Amino acid sequence: MFEGWPLLSLLIWLPIVGGAGVLVLGRADADRARWSALAVAALVFVLALALWVGFEVGVAGMQFIERTPWIQAFGIDYYLGVDGISMPLVVLTAFSTLLVVVAAWEVVRYKPAQYLAAFLIMEGIMIGVFSALDAILFYVFFEAMLIPMFLIIGIWGGPNRIYATLKFFLYTFLGSVMMLVALIYLRTEAGSFAIQDFYGLQLPLATQTLVFLAFLAAFAVKVPMFPVHTWLPDAHVEAPTGGSVILAAITLKIGGYGFLRFSLPITPEASMALDWLLIGLSLIAVVYIGLVAMVQEDLKKLIAYSSIAHMGFVTLAFFLIFRILAGSGSRDGALMALEGGMVQMISHGFVSAAMFLCVGVLYDRMHTRRIADYGGVANRMPVFAGFFVLFAMANAGLPGTSGFVGEFMVILASFQAGFWYAAIAGLTLILGAAYSLWMIKRVVYGEVKSEAVDELQDVSPRERLLLGSLAAVVLFFGIYPAPLIDVMAPSLDALFRIVVPTL
Amino acid sequence: MNFEMPQFALAAPEIWLGVMVCVVLIADLFDRSQEGRIAFFLTQATLLVAIWLAVSTHWGGDREITFNGMYVSDSLAAVLKVAIAGLAAVTLGYSRDYLRQRDLLKGEFYMLALIATLGMFVMASASSLLVLYVGLELLSLSLYAMVAFDRDSRIGAEAAMKYFVLGALSSGMLLYGMSMIYGASGSLLIDDIATRAAAGDNLLLMAFGMTFALVGIAFKFGAAPFHMWIPDVYQGAPTAVTAFLGSAPKIAALALFLRLLADGLGQLHDQWQVMAIILAVGSLAVGNLFALVQTNFKRMLAYSTISHIGFLFLGLIAGTEEGYAAALFYAISYGIMVAGGFGMIILLSRKGFEAEMIDDMRGLNDRHSGYALVMLLLMFSMTGIPGTVGFYAKWLVLQALVDSGMIWLAVVAVIFAVIGAFYYLRVLKAVYFDRAESPTPLEAPIGPRVVVAANGGLVLLLGLFPDTLIEICRAAFGL
């Protein structure tokens, strides 16, 4: 029924225009702001589902292509399209934003219209990032994301929000302007700004390395990779719940997506030459940051560090492919690593969103995030405890949850790179289980610790709906990941042909 | 020597402005309302007609030279003049209520602004050193008077004094350089100079002249290390004057550079390139680093101007048509942004209280979310974040640099852009994150409010659809 529609444009501009509408409509009336924001977010989600339904599985190339000239003097087009790599991320974005709008319902009292509008505009921009096929268009969306996120953390954040928001902005801005210079350089070589025209440029290794490093600056900060990860815990701790959800669920994925869309296919030789660097940093993220997560006393910080560790796992998967090929020559093994990384990204989107929403539920009631202030929550909030334990398990990679599928695929593939890669990567399961379980033990179980905990109310129907829908998704993809893998496999295969053309 | 009748029609915009200066002066004498209404609206109408005249006489046609080779009519002149008159109209749009509240409203103000505009128009079409200089002095002398317009202000008098002395010094430098160029080439006509330079006559003397001329131009631009007057003058002048002074004359300075160095001394590009690089990097460093520590918003904008001048020079360095087009785009978009910035100060100020400290912006979002949004757009535009016109300005300059192989310079530029982001964000921090001490809703006269809304809207509109303006700037250089 959506055939012939400019579906991607609608997905981008409907939330942006809708956000502006919410801003105007809801200035005086908070309820009107909420309902109109919900209407926009729900409509966008329906369109995203239509995108998924209309997506032709088994096709490697771009679909839903839209192309019109935009800045003609430089051959820049308004050029959109999605493949199996970006389509799931678009749907994830629409889903998370809907959750954020619902989660903000009674909780956000200070300027709710501006809050909701910021998230809707953010949604449109992020979908733009995932569907832009022109480098400058991509860059425009990539950078424009900073504006709403800057405001979200700075206006609705915690006490230390100003430090956090400036740090967030300057880190990511520095990373991305380096990429801009690289993109401009690539255009002089390729003669156009279409990303696909950058593929297959035969650049000398030295040039490739510089371009690769410029991309690395942009995407490593976004992911974030060790040692440029320090903005993330600050940003998460200070951000409001919705901000944390979007940061963890989507913006981190943009870093991973960038590696797949830019770094690997445009600078394959440099990627291969520098894979030791990326693998090393990823392993540090997995092990060291995992250990750091364990000693956190703040719930949000713990989950933030766990996010960094999990994303380290994703970048490990992406750059291990060269070692896998060198180790076993197995193309399937390397492809499995890529698929595992992607599944892990999507799964982490759901799980981390759920974890942050859970913390948000607790914070709304107790106004503290210190783990030590909790204890015995299960006695007063049994339903909530059930959800929280399930998501913590998914975070730890328990079989039957979506978290398991990705990690399992990557570890399986990494055996072909060498035993030690797999052994260190496998530590993520142990560490993840350790900090997740320990957190659960301290927060959820045990005796009721204080009067404040004693007075806790269990989740409301609205919160039940939020957490329930996430639980359903996490379990569904945990038991039956095939639809996800089927969607992305052909595109990853095509990517692989560009990165390693000889095989 | 046979006398050739000049083609007066080609100079229609200047003739129109010259006539209207007299008309405004006389009409104001008969205006007893003491509100300068006639002078104000007559001036705005004059500027609009001037825009129309500039487009209809200069745009699109062949390059034509008249008045014995001293006046040039080409598409570049059209773009420059439209930008100059447009920015003048916008910044004067802010001025009326500001001046009235402070009892400064006199018809002479608008007459001076018109003379300054005439001077800038002359510079945009100058094809002879002498005409260029006459235009420059017409501009400068009017500006000295405008800076000193608040006679009772001590800081204003000091600013005017500083501006006058340094302005005279820079004019002297420029004139000295011009005299050497004249000595080396034997002609005042820029086309002749270009021919002589190409023939390689007296290149050493010409290079000396070029050096002095460039110093003069750098003074007028406010490029480091010739930037000292900018912060004091920007801060000391009445804000309505600062807005005028900070926007349109930058376009005129670009005209000076393009006519003299690009058209006339293009052959000496290798020599002036090095100096321009030093000026550009110095301005980026000085402007951004000093802006970081300012608490006064006007001074901060002044130092940020210096850094933007650095970026503008980066476009000129390449010495290519693309680079000039990028610099032109940069100058126009920067003019729009800075006019908006000073417009915001005017909106937030009232009699007896100049909202010129960054702290005065605190809690603006609580007091008026619309103004806060305009501020957001302006600051992100100056930072160079996409979605605003400032991004394309920076991008075009970087593109020109990379195309001419100066990638290292592009990297230096973006690093300074990141440093610059910090102080723009500090303003937004005050606007959005800090709470106002007294959240009284803001009130402002309708005139400036409409202009500031249009100004912010333009930043966003050009940020989403920059294509037309880019095409125009490129077409001005025949691209």
Q: What is the greatest pairwise CA distance in chain A? A: 69
3-state secondary structure of A9: helix
Bridge partner residues of A77 (DSSP): A69
Q: Which residue of B has its CA nearest to A180?
A: B395
- Tokens matching residue A53: 């339904």
pLDDT range class, residue A130, cuts 50, 70, 90: very high
Q: Please tell me which of the candidates B369, B415, B425 has its beta carbon nearest to residue A166.
A: B425
| Under 8 Å between Cβ of A500 and A69 | no
Query: In which residue are the tokens 């995407």 written?
Result: A219
Q: Which residue of B has its CA nearest to A160?
A: B433
DSSP letter at B68 equals T
**In this complex, is the C-beta atom of A138 within 8 Å of any C-beta atom belonging to chain B?**
no
Q: Work out the burial of residue A251: count CB atoms within 10 Å of its CB; fewer than 13 is exposed, 13-18 middle, 19 or more buried.
A: buried
pTM of structure: 0.91
Q: Please tell me which of the candidates B387, B403, B470 has its beta carbon nearest to residue A188.
A: B403
Taking 80 as the threshold, does the pLDDT of residue A182 lie above it? yes
What is the number of residues in chain A? 503
Distant-in-sequence, close-in-space partners of A83: CB < 8 Å, separation ≥ 6:
A60, A61, A62, A63, A491, A494
Phi first, then psi, for residue A68 (nearest 5°) are: -135, 145
DSSP letter at A72 equals G
**In this complex, is the C-beta atom of B212 within 8 Å of any C-beta atom belonging to chain A?**
no
Average pLDDT per block of 10 residues along chain B, 479 residues long: 75 91 88 79 92 89 83 90 93 86 83 93 91 92 89 87 90 92 89 87 86 89 86 89 90 90 84 89 91 89 91 88 91 92 86 78 82 90 90 91 88 90 88 79 78 89 90 87
Q: How far apart are CA A255 and CA A243, in angstroms?
A: 17
pLDDT in tens, A144-179: 988 888 888 888 887 888 888 888 888 888 888 889
The stretch A309-316 carries a mean pLDDT of: 88
Helices A146-156 and A161-190: angle between axes, nearest 10 degrees: 180
Taking 60 as the threshold, does the pLDDT of residue A503 lie above it? no
Q: How far apart are CA A278 and CA A334, in angstroms?
A: 16
Q: How far apart are CA B29 and CA B38, in angstroms?
A: 10
Amino acid at B143: L
Q: Please tell me which of the candidates B386, B407, B425 has its beta carbon nearest to residue A181.
A: B407
- Residue ranges of alpha helices (H) inside A367-418 are 377-380, 382-396, 402-414
**In this complex, is the C-beta atom of B376 within 8 Å of any C-beta atom belonging to chain A?**
yes
Q: What is the percent of chain A with per-residue pLDDT over 90, rounded to a whole number?
A: 9
**In this complex, is the C-beta atom of B478 within 8 Å of any C-beta atom belonging to chain A?**
no
| Under 8 Å between Cβ of B258 and B324 | yes
Q: Look at A474 and B224; give whichever has higher pLDDT.
A: A474
CA distance B472 to chain A (A): 10
- Tokens matching residue B371: 């103004």
The CA distances from residue B170 to B214, B227, B344, in Å, are: 10, 11, 31
Q: How far apart are CA B85 and CA B65, in angstroms?
A: 22
What is B299-366 written as a DSSP string? HHHHHHHHHHHHHHHHHHHT-SHHHHHHHHHHHHHHHHHHHHHHHHHHHH-BTTB---BGGGGTTHHH
CA distance B432 to chain A (A): 6
Q: What is the greatest pairwise CA distance in chain B? A: 74
| Under 8 Å between Cβ of A82 and A8 | yes
Query: In which residue are the tokens 């990429």 written?
Result: A179
| Under 8 Å between Cβ of B337 and B460 | no
Question: Taking Cα atoms as reference points, which of B221, B240, B252, B234 lies closest to residue B119?
Answer: B252
Q: How far apart are CA A23 and CA A18, in angstroms?
A: 9
CA distance A249 to chain B (A): 23
The stretch A325-351 carries a mean pLDDT of: 86
**In this complex, is the C-beta atom of A182 within 8 Å of any C-beta atom belonging to chain B?**
no
Bridge partner residues of A76 (DSSP): A71
What is A335-377 written as a DSSP string? HHHHHHHHHHHHHHHHHHHHHHHHHHHHHHHHS--BGGG---H
Q: Which residue of A has its CA nearest to B391?
A: A140
Taking all residues of chain A, what is their mean pLDDT, rounded to a whole number?
86
Q: How far apart are CA A261 and CA A190, in angstroms?
A: 16
- Tokens matching residue B222: 């406010």
**In this complex, is the C-beta atom of A24 within 8 Å of any C-beta atom belonging to chain B?**
no
Q: Which residue of A has its CA nearest to B398?
A: A181
CA-based angle A272:A276:A282, to the nearest 5? 115
Phi first, then psi, for residue A26 (nearest 5°) are: -95, 15
pLDDT in tens, A34-76: 888 888 888 999 989 888 888 888 888 888 888 888 888 888 8
From first CA to last CA, the distance across chain A in angstroms is: 40
Contact: B418, A185; criterion CB under 8 Å = no
Q: Work out the burial of residue A102: count CB atoms within 10 Å of its CB; fewer than 13 is exposed, 13-18 middle, 19 or more buried.
A: buried
So what's the pLDDT on residue B1? 54
Q: How far is CA A7 from the centre of its chain?
A: 22
The CA distances from residue A22 to A14, A467, B177, B387, in Å, are: 12, 25, 59, 20
Contact: A27, B369; criterion CB under 8 Å = yes
For the beta carbon of residue B211, count every other beta carbon within 10 angstroms.
17
- Tokens matching residue A117: 């509008």
**In this complex, is the C-beta atom of A78 within 8 Å of any C-beta atom belonging to chain B?**
no
Chain A CB contacts of B425 below 8 Å: 150, 166, 169-170
- Tokens matching residue B291: 């802006």
For the beta carbon of residue A442, count every other beta carbon within 10 angstroms.
18
Amino acid at B416: F
Q: How far apart are CA B177 and CA B129, in angstroms?
A: 10
The stretch A441-456 carries a mean pLDDT of: 81
Bridge partner residues of B189 (DSSP): B128
Number of A/B CB contacts below 8 angstroms equals: 91
- Tokens matching residue B377: 């757009």
Question: Taking Cα atoms as reference points, which of B330, B188, B347, B334 lies closest to residue B264?
Answer: B188
- Tokens matching residue A75: 């051959």
Contact: B432, A147; criterion CB under 8 Å = no
Q: How far is CA B417 from the centre of its chain?
A: 20
CA distance B376 to chain A (A): 9
Bridge partner residues of A80 (DSSP): A66, A132
Chain A CB contacts of B417 below 8 Å: 177
Chain A CB contacts of B314 below 8 Å: none
Question: Taking Cα atoms as reference points, which of A165, A173, A319, A198 lies closest to residue A256?
Answer: A319
Taking 70 as the threshold, does the pLDDT of residue A1 lie above it? no
CA distance A166 to chain B (A): 7
The CA distances from residue A299 to A304, A371, A394, A453, in Å, are: 9, 6, 17, 16
A206-215, A469-478, B439-448, range with the lowest pLDDT? B439-448
Q: Please tell me which of the candidates B403, B432, B471 has its beta carbon nearest to residue A151.
A: B432
The stretch A353-375 carries a mean pLDDT of: 86
Q: How far apart are CA B355 and CA B364, in angstroms?
A: 12
| Under 8 Å between Cβ of B395 and B389 | no
Helices B190-199 and B154-185: angle between axes, nearest 10 degrees: 50
Q: How far apart are CA A172 and CA A153, in angstroms?
A: 14
Question: Taking Cα atoms as reference points, which of B184, B182, B176 lies closest to residue B211?
Answer: B176
Q: What is the dihedral sign for C-alpha A102, A105, A108, A113?
A: positive
Chain A CB contacts of B403 below 8 Å: 188
